[in-house]
Amino acid sequence: MTAMTKTATDKRKTAAVPDYHEQVVELGRETVGQVRCAEPFMVAEKVNVHYGDNHAIRDVTLEIGKKEVVALIGPSGCGKSTFLRCLNRMNDSIESARVSGNITLDGTDIYSKEQDPVALRARVGMVFQKPNPFPKSIYDNVAYGPRIHGLAGDRAELDTIVHSSLERAGLLKEVKDRLDEPGTSLSGGQQQRLCIARTIAVNPEVILMDEPCSALDPIATARIEDLMDELCEDYAIVIVTHSMQQAARVSRRVAYFHLGYLVEVDDTDKVFTNPQHKLTEDYITGRIG
């Protein structure tokens, strides 16, 4: 990793900034690498997203396996967050957004008419860039999902869910004596772990993370990354990140987006040590972004 960063700084001095849009068109729209995986759980086929006239995602095909961490990387505005929000239909709330193509979760089409987005989001949870606990107590934050979905039969069962979720998010030890205090009184890192606890309390099958550590300090980041390592034993995780180090640390596969195209997908080691596409190479060596 250090060697790579060093070459990046060296190259930055000499190379002029090329026109990357031209390059994408020139180098073709075909995604390089392995879009398929061994045990596909969530499959996106030829997904296109338009925001009004803006074509934000172009023909993206990507498979996400069971119990796999996939990192989406790319420069700002490349469509990685948009793609992530397609996976739990969060784009539905944006009026101008149009999604076409096909996304399936465990074989069922999530954009079919019969699919209720509410039920989908219980299966595909989401953690956001900025920690966004509800202005309620820590307990109520975690209990909210189970409550609205009716997951707990009685108070004792709800207590169990709340405690185990906080435990799994690595937060229980710090907060177990003050579950009644507002979630907003915690530190930034704790708040983000509270949000993760809140997400896993619903027991989803896939967790989407949209730059979960960008507002956190390195120590809190490290804790969240450790947490992801543990969580991927049970859940499929898709994480958007701006930090290539983070992508390298937590993911099994990396997908590189550029101007709405999915340029390259492959095993993390392969992408970072031997990128196939010129754009990918430029990005991870620090010449883009």
Interface segment toward another protein; rule CB under 8 A; list 32-40, 46-54, 141-149, 247-255: 141-149
Candidates 57-65, 131-139, 171-179, 278-286; binding stretch for another protein (CB under 8 A): 131-139
128 binds another protein (CB under 8 A): yes
Is there a contact between 151 and 204 (Cβ–Cβ < 8 Å)?
Answer: no
Residue 132 makes contact with another protein by CB under 8 A: yes
Q: Does 104 bind another protein (CB under 8 A)?
A: no
Q: How many Cβ atoms are within 10 Å of 131's Cβ, its own excluded?
A: 23
Position 214 contacts another protein (CB under 8 A): no
The dihedral over CA atoms of 153, 105, 242, 31, expressed in degrees to the nearest 10, equals 170
Token duo for residue 155: 């108070």
Of 147, 228, 158, 239, the residue nearest 193 (C-alpha): 228
238 binds another protein (CB under 8 A): no
Residue 119 interacts with another protein (CB under 8 A)? yes
- Between CA 102 and CA 83 the distance in angstroms is 12
Q: For another protein, which stretch binds (CB under 8 A), given 40-48, 125-133, 221-229, 237-245? A: 125-133
φ/ψ of residue 37, rounded to 5? -135, 175
Question: Pick from 145, 212, 260, 275: which binds another protein (CB under 8 A)?
Answer: 145
The residues in 64-93 that bind another protein, with binding defined as CB under 8 A, are: 88, 90, 93
Residue 25, interface with another protein (CB under 8 A)?
A: no
Smallest distance from another protein to CB 21, Å: 30
**Which residues, 6+ apart, have CB-to-CB distance to 126 below 8 Å?**
88, 90, 199, 207, 208, 209, 210
Helices within the chain (DSSP H only)? 2-14, 20-27, 80-86, 117-123, 138-149, 155-168, 172-175, 188-200, 218-231, 244-250, 268-273, 278-284
- Selected binder of another protein within 2, 107, 112, 135 (CB under 8 A): 135
Q: Does 203 bind another protein (CB under 8 A)?
A: no
Please say which residue, 15 or 148, places its beta carbon nearer to another protein.
Answer: 148
Residues 6+ apart with CB under 8 A from 171: 190, 193, 194, 197
Of the candidate spans 5-13, 133-141, 159-167, 171-179, the one that interacts with another protein by CB under 8 A turns out to be 133-141
Query: Three-class SS of residue 53?
Result: coil
153 binds another protein (CB under 8 A): no
Contact with another protein (CB under 8 A): which of 58, 168, 193, 198? 198
Closest-CA residue to 207 (of 99, 108, 87): 87
Contact residues for another protein, defined by CB under 8 A: 88, 90, 93, 95, 118-122, 125-128, 130, 132-135, 144-145, 148-149, 182, 184, 195, 198-199, 202
